[in-house]
Amino acid sequence: MRIFMDTANIEEIRRGVTMGVVDGVTTNPSLVAKEGIEYRDRVLEICEVVQGPVSAECISETADALVEEARRIAEWHEHVVVKIAMTEPGLEAIRRVSAEGIRVNTTLIFSPNQALLAARAGATYVSPFIGRLNDIGHDGMAVVRESVKILENFHLPTQVLAASIRLPRDVTEAALVGSHVATIPADVLFQMVKHPLTDQGIDRFLADAQKYNAV
């Protein structure tokens, strides 16, 4: 499973990339709004740091406007993947821009049927939002699992990108059900590195090493 970071914070992204495990980044208007910087400027900064796909979101609401916006955003940088929300005009726009070779991440996916439609329209990625489904008492991971199975059944090239991840356990489960990608908030990614027994083990090895170094 490939690992993307779900953040627009450049320092967090630098740290993740330095760690050597970050294959891409996803942003959205809410994440960039927290940074107090213009969307395009931040996406370009991220594209320089990450050698992989960087999702940037379209906010238009009609198919024609989405197509125009997607074309414009895709021009920003070769790493850019345009995010288009799962709506009827969105599907039309996905079909039209995918045919031009623009990569699309279909966002706000909450059912396997939505994932199937976006895949048939030509999306490169479909992003089921796990946490937001769990928040309303649904099983977010079931949407990831069923979407993966449907895409596999029909050999569709679209990749499932597990999004709205809140816990390290969500990442484990996304990997177990075969999600192609997980986009992970920075705090969750850095938590994944840690285990109390690892820290304890290092302390013990260091203490023992001092015994023979002292000899």
Which parts of this chain interact with ligand G3P (CB under 6 A)?
6, 26, 28, 129, 131-132, 163-164, 183
**Complex with ligand G3P: residue 112 or 140, whichever CB lies closer:** 140
Distance in angstroms (rounded) separating the CA atoms of residues 38 and 16: 22
**Complex with ligand G3P: residue 136 or 215, whichever CB lies closer:** 136
**Torsional class of 5: left (φ above 0), alpha (ψ -120 to 50), beta (otherwise):** beta
Residues in the chain: 215
**Complex with ligand G3P: residue 52 or 131, whichever CB lies closer:** 131
DSSP summary character for residue 180? S
CB atoms closer than 10 angstroms to residue 37:
14
User: Coil, helix or strand for 81?
Assistant: strand
Q: How far is the CB of 52 from ligand G3P (least distance, A)?
A: 15
Q: How far is the CB of 4 from ligand G3P (least distance, A)?
A: 9
Q: How far is the CB of 184 from ligand G3P (least distance, A)?
A: 9
DSSP summary character for residue 152? H
Structure tokens that stand for 153 in this block = 């059944």
Distance in angstroms (rounded) separating the CA atoms of residues 34 and 27: 11
Cα separations in angstroms, 121 against 7, 46, 163: 27, 28, 20
194 is catalytic: no
**Complex with ligand G3P: residue 4 or 17, whichever CB lies closer:** 4
34, 83, 149, 194: the catalytic one is 83
Strand partners, 163: 129
Q: How far is the CB of 103 from ligand G3P (least distance, A)?
A: 16
Report the catalytic residues. 83
